[in-house]
Amino acid sequence: MSNSNVWLTSRERMRRFPELLAVCAKEAAVYGKCVASSGEYELKKDACGREFQALKRCFIEAAKKIK
């Protein structure tokens, strides 16, 4: 990644994260509850994978809609 603009563009994209997360508040709450309620031995990699994929899908769609 030698292009110096990468920093600027990735930071620009990250600046939109809060508003996109606000759009997907419901999926975020479901995912958060899944992680918070799993015990210390059940929280392995992808323990709440389904919920996270739903959140990510919502996030990507929101990013496409809100230009």
Partner 1 sequence: MYIFFDMSKVCRLTRMLSFGGCLNLIGRQRTPLLRTSSSVTMDALRTGSSSASMNVFDRSMKRKQKAWASALVDADKYDYLRNEVGSRIADRIFDVARTFPLALEIGCGRSHIVQHLNKETIDTLFLVDVNEKALRMTAEMDIPTHKVLADEEFLPFKENTFDLVVSSLSLHWVNDLPGSLKQINNILKPDGVFIGAMVGGDTLYELRCSLQLAELEREGGFAPHISPYTAVTDLGNLLGLAGFKMLTVDIDEIEVYYPDMFQVIKDLQGMGESNCAWNRKPMLHRDTMLAAAAIYKAMYGNEDGSVPATFQILYMIGWKHHDSQVKPAKRGSANVSFGDIGKMNELSRNKPNS
**Phi, psi (deg, nearest 5) at residue 40:** -75, -20
The CB-of-3 to partner 1 minimum distance in angstroms stands at 18
Query: What is the rounded distance in angstroms from the CA atom of residue 2 to the CA atom of residue 8?
Result: 13
Q: Using CB under 8 A, which residues numbered 23 to 52 contact partner 1?
A: 25, 27-29, 31-33, 35-36, 40, 43-48, 52
User: How many of the chain's residues bind partner 1 (CB under 8 A)?
Assistant: 25
- Kindly list the residues in this chain that would bind partner 1 in the complex (CB under 8 A): 14, 17-18, 21-22, 25, 27-29, 31-33, 35-36, 40, 43-48, 52, 55-56, 59
